[in-house]
Amino acid sequence: MKTIITSIAIFVCSILSAQTQYEQGMGKAMQLWGEGKNSEAVATFERIASVEQTNWLPNYYIAFINTIETFGTKDKEKAAALISKAQDALDNATAISPNNTEIMVVQAMLYTAILVQDPMANGQKYGALAMEQYNKALIIDPKNPRVVFSKAEFEIGGAKYWGTDTKPMCEAIAKSLELFANFKPESQFHPSWGADRAKQALENCNKK
């Protein structure tokens, strides 16, 4: 997950030159996140979300940051708080922008974060929920590189657990890299992460 933060930090410099209050706020939040100040970044995104009530992006990043943090904690109480906050933000983002594949990817990631907290208890339910999100997103936008890559990455985890062939997933990751190469975000604040992780994942595939 650290590569996501690194890739976010790369374009912070261009964000800082923004002119509008919204752009300045988003730029500041991105900068804080890039510096590893997650709590401050989330607080900034929350302030923006309270004003930009028809914009899904602030809530998207609130959910994204809290989801990533969930993967990195073994503290059950902290994880539960992060999961709750991420889900609230995803619900808000989805209400603003239904059938948004970027939001669906983070929702699937959150289900995965819940799954890894207790695989024996949560695996069947949340694994199915994550796949449901990925499959729905793939139908809506099969050219979204984060959808293609994240689905394949999730499936690799399952394949390794069950000892099944990962070749189809590795082929999907290779396809996602082609999609990343041609992807252009709608704005400097729209999701653009994932290419570095996909490259690393494909390298891991090739090592087998």
d(CA 208, CA 205): 6
Q: Hey, how many other C-beta atoms are within 10 angstroms of the C-beta on 85?
A: 19
Residue 14: pLDDT over 70:
no
Annotated domain spans of the chain: 2-206
Q: What is the pLDDT of residue 93?
A: 98
CA-nearest of 70, 110, 112 to 90 is 110
Tell which CATH architecture fits domain 2-206. Alpha Horseshoe (1.25)
Q: What is the model's pTM?
A: 0.89
Residue 203: pLDDT over 80:
yes
Q: What is the pLDDT of residues 141-186, one digit of tens each?
A: 999 999 999 999 999 988 776 777 889 999 999 999 999 999 999 9
